[in-house]
Amino acid sequence: MDAHKPAYAANSVIGVKAGRPGARIKARTVLLYIVLLLVAAYMIIPFLWIFSTSLRLAKDSFALPPAIFPTSFVWENYQEVFEKVPFAAFITNSIKIAAIVVIGHVLISSMAAFAFSRIKFPGRDVIFLVFLSGLMIPSQVTIIPQFILISKLGLVDTHWAIILPALINPLGIFMIRQMMLTIPHSYDEAAYMDGANRMWVFLKVILPMAFPAVSVTSVLLFIANWNDFFRPLIFLNTYEKMTLPLGMTVLTGLFGTGNLSAVLAGVTLSLIPPLLFYMFGQKYLIEGLSVGGLKI
């Protein structure tokens, strides 16, 4: 029995030492979850405050200490949003503009990406670099020539003044092109051998395989146009044609003297469409981002 004690003790020591890395990994995992929960709480708390304040009386909007969760339920604030401004028209206008831009983007950007990735023509790379350089130009720099062009076309104070310039998106063309470059050319060759034309190859072969990149750029473009305030402020004058971000400034009142609870009720309602759009496109967004490190 004594002869086995050293071996048993040695095995115990080895077992303890072997168990330490697992304990360290478990401790790191717990610490990681704690950090992630703190970051999540830091990001969610402002939204909880917006929602809870939208259900309070206006005089309780800046109560100290601020209440994160609702302390009262004044649903009249949401009713006031629709009574003071044509909120439904604002939402409809924003959905109309964002949807048309996304649909046009899918058609135009995907066809441009197909040409830049699958068709060889003189000056292809130079033209692509010119398109790509558009990412470095702020939109505020081009707003004056855009306004001059839109005014000469007679499109000022129409939704087309916002839609047309947004149809060409260099970021969308770049991301979809990079995705298409990863698709082997054997698919094209097999389709051509079966008698398919170029448009059929684009619609039936390449575009479905590049759908993750198309979905990512569509989600980003929808949210960008939904939240756009600058261009509607320049091009739209009629009250009923305003988009939601521009219409919300009417709800705030002159010098911000409006009912803050009603304003935050409008903000809460304005978050619903992009949130639903993101929830339904989350799968494709994550899939597209996972293939973001593509070769040029």
In a shared domain, residues 93 and 153: yes
Same domain, 215 and 98: yes
CATH of the domain at 201: 1.10.3720.10
Percent of the chain at pLDDT exceeding 70: 84
Mean pLDDT of the chain: 81
Q: What is the pLDDT averaged over residues 177-199?
A: 87
pLDDT digits (tens, 9 = 90+) for 194-214: 888 888 889 888 888 888 888
In a domain, 261, yes or no: yes
Shared-domain flag, residues 32 and 82:
no
Q: Are residues 21 and 115 in the same domain?
A: no
* Same-domain status, 21 and 133: no
**Considering the domain boundaries, does residue 61 fall inside one?**
no
Which tens digit of pLDDT belongs to each residue from 222-279? 888 888 889 999 999 888 889 988 888 877 765 555 677 888 888 888 888 888 877 7
- Predicted confidence (pLDDT) per residue in 35-48, tens digit: 999 998 888 888 88
Average pLDDT over residues 62-76: 74
Q: What is the pLDDT of residue 288?
A: 59
145 with 25, same domain? no
Residue 31: domain span: 4-53
Are residues 141 and 46 part of one domain? no
In a domain, 86, yes or no: yes
Structural domain tally of the chain?
2
How far apart CA 162 and CA 220 sit, in angstroms, is 17
Q: Do 123 and 49 belong together in one domain?
A: no
pTM above 0.85, yes or no: no
* Residue 58 maps to a domain: no
Q: What is the mean pLDDT of residues 8-21?
A: 51
98/16 same-domain check = no
Please provide the DSSP assignment of 231-290 as one string: HHHHH---GGG--HHHHHHHHH-GGG-S-HHHHHHHHHHHTHHHHHHHHHHHHHHHHHHH
Output the CA–CA distances (angstroms, integers) from residue 53 to 48, 61, 249, 263, in the order listed. Answer: 8, 6, 18, 10
Domain check: are 113 and 242 in the same one? Answer: yes
- Same domain? For 232 and 110 the reply is yes
101 occurs within a structural domain: yes
